[in-house]
Amino acid sequence: MKMESVESPSFSRYGRIWSHLDASEAIAKAKAILPETDRVAYQASVSELEEPSAFNDAVQSQIYGGMPVEVGWCYGHNLQLRGVEYHKGIEVLVCITDLVLLLGHRDDIVFGDEIRYDMANVVAFYAPAGSVVELFPSSLHMAPVHTTKGGSFANLVILPKGTNTPMEMPIEKLGEARLFSRTNSWVIVHVDATPMIERGLYPGAIGEPVVVNPI
């Protein structure tokens, strides 16, 4: 798989970089409290990361236009993509480490009697530590992957408040709602991803699962 940089023109289909925002203090704070794990871990809201700061204020005002947001993180060890998700709102990633984003586009999902997404459409973008990356609502994504053998990845995840939290109201799973996972989250997993399917996620991603070989 060809890999490009989030600085490349081709990334403009999926998101953009906020190069003038300085995330150094937010990254330092996250590094000081980042737990260890041997898997991929995600937490939608971390109170220590949501404390008032110049960076959080800038993200909420300049990127989200004053909307309430949650600040969480995703971290651990990952070298593959076995499904994709999207939200109806932008997502901001702050790269604590170098990482690779595996992205698709919602236009490539085929909706019909069955819902299908071909994993051959996934593209890879390298994002260096310190990057502040906005992903558009049309961008399909999941956990990033790490870049070095035996390494790990970590990034802050900033989303509209309530995203990826349990949904209280019942959802009739018709049409696009068949992909509904949690609040403001739609997920499609690989047809061979049995553990994810057993958790109730929709099996519609076809083709070879994406595996990245670190250097």
What are the sequence ranges of the domains in the chain? 3-164
- C-beta of residue 18 within 8 angstroms of C-beta of residue 55: no
> Which residues are within 8 A (CB) of 68 and not within 5 positions of it... i.e. 6 or more apart?
60, 160, 161
Confidence of residue 78 (pLDDT cuts 50, 70, 90): very high
CATH architecture assignment, domain 3-164: Sandwich (2.60)
pTM for the predicted model, two decimal places:
0.96
Give yes or no for residue 68 having a pLDDT over 90: yes
Reported as a single tens digit per residue, the pLDDT across 142-179 is 999 999 999 999 999 999 999 999 988 888 999 999 99
Confidence of residue 65 (pLDDT cuts 50, 70, 90): very high
Confidence (pLDDT) at 168: 85
Confidence (pLDDT) at 2: 84
Confidence of residue 39 (pLDDT cuts 50, 70, 90): very high
Confidence (pLDDT) at 1: 78
Query: What sign results for the dihedral spanned by CA atoms 165, 114, 12, 74?
Result: positive
φ/ψ bin of 50: left (φ > 0), alpha (ψ from -120 to 50), beta (otherwise): alpha
Confidence of residue 214 (pLDDT cuts 50, 70, 90): confident
Find the largest Cα–Cα distance for the chain. Answer: 48
